[in-house]
């Protein structure tokens, strides 16, 4: 993990003073972009757009949904490391939370060391989720950072994984559809991988330009855009 902590955090807390106190504490320990909401309904409506790395959720919220119900809805959209906050931990709440995959449960008033231990644990989960082990030849697997994958290329029943710095890995046991599935299961931002041709899926972060019916990727590699995907690609790139 990097020495300097950084993450996008969704804080769902209906007590303004508590939210401000927690934000001030977090800013002392790292570079955190904190987005705050006071109702579960609003957090759910903004979750896909905001794409937080971590969710910090109070149990009691304004609105009809409490924190546990809100977290359940969010996890249905995308698994995200979640830290719960509460004034007290009663058996009913603990029972409901036990069915969720959460990072920690913090009781107010907060202790700085426990808050940051929880953040570090959540960051470790996030870092792990943004890697994938790809099977290569002879039973060997290689760990890959998902952000370093520039595009996938179908090759019959195989898939070539193109990475930064011109690196290529040929997966001899899985086709492009299966490899893409493995990536989006582990990626914190799976929407960055977009199909632009029956034989190509690209990582939007590595697109550097477009020329005719081809995308220009990092390293000046060119990838064909399928006819049926051209309108989608133009909309994705916000072309004038």
State residue 221's pLDDT score: 93
Q: Which domains does the chain have, with CATH numbers?
A: 5-129 (3.40.50.2300), 133-236 (2.40.50.1020)
Report DSSP state, residue 7. Answer: E
State residue 137's pLDDT score: 64
Alpha helices for 31-136 (secondary structure H): 40-50, 67-77, 91-97, 112-129
State residue 101's pLDDT score: 74
CA atoms within 13 A on the CB side of 184: 18
Residue 225's φ and ψ, nearest 5 degrees, are -100, 125
State residue 46's pLDDT score: 95
Q: Please list the rounded mean pLDDT of every run of 10 residues in the chain (240 residues).
A: 73 94 89 94 93 92 93 87 84 77 84 90 77 71 84 90 86 84 80 94 94 92 95 83
State residue 1's pLDDT score: 42
CA distance 51 to 26: 19
State residue 223's pLDDT score: 96
């Amino acid at each position: 993990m990097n020495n300097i902590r950084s993450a996008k955090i969704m804080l769902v807390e209906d007590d303004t003073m508590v939210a401000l106190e927690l934000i001030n504490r977090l800013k002392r320990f790292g570079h955190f972009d904190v987005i705050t909401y006071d109702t579960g309904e609003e957090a759910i409506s903004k979750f896909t757009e905001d794409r937080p790395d971590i969710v910090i959720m109070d149990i009691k919220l304004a609105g009809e949904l409490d924190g546990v119900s809100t977290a359940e809805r969010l996890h249905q959209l995308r698994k995200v490391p979640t830290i719960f906050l509460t004034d007290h931990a009663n058996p009913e709440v603990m029972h409901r939370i036990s069915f969720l995959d959460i990072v920690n449960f913090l009781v107010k008033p907060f202790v700085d060391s426990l808050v940051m231990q929880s953040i570090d644990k959540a960051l470790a989960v996030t870092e792990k989720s943004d890697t994938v082990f790809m099977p290569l030849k002879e039973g060997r697997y290689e760990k890959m950072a998902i952000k370093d994958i520039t595009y996938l290329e179908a090759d019959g029943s195989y898939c070539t994984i193109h990475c930064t710095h011109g690196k290529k890995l040929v997966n001899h046991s899985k086709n492009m559809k299966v490899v893409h599935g493995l990536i989006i299961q582990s990626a914190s931002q799976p929407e960055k991988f977009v199909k632009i041709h029956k034989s190509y899926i690209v990582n939007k972060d590595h697109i550097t330009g477009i020329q005719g019916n081809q995308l220009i990727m990092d390293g000046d590699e060119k990838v064909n855009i399928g006819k049926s995907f051209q309108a989608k690609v133009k909309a994705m790139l916000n072309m004038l």
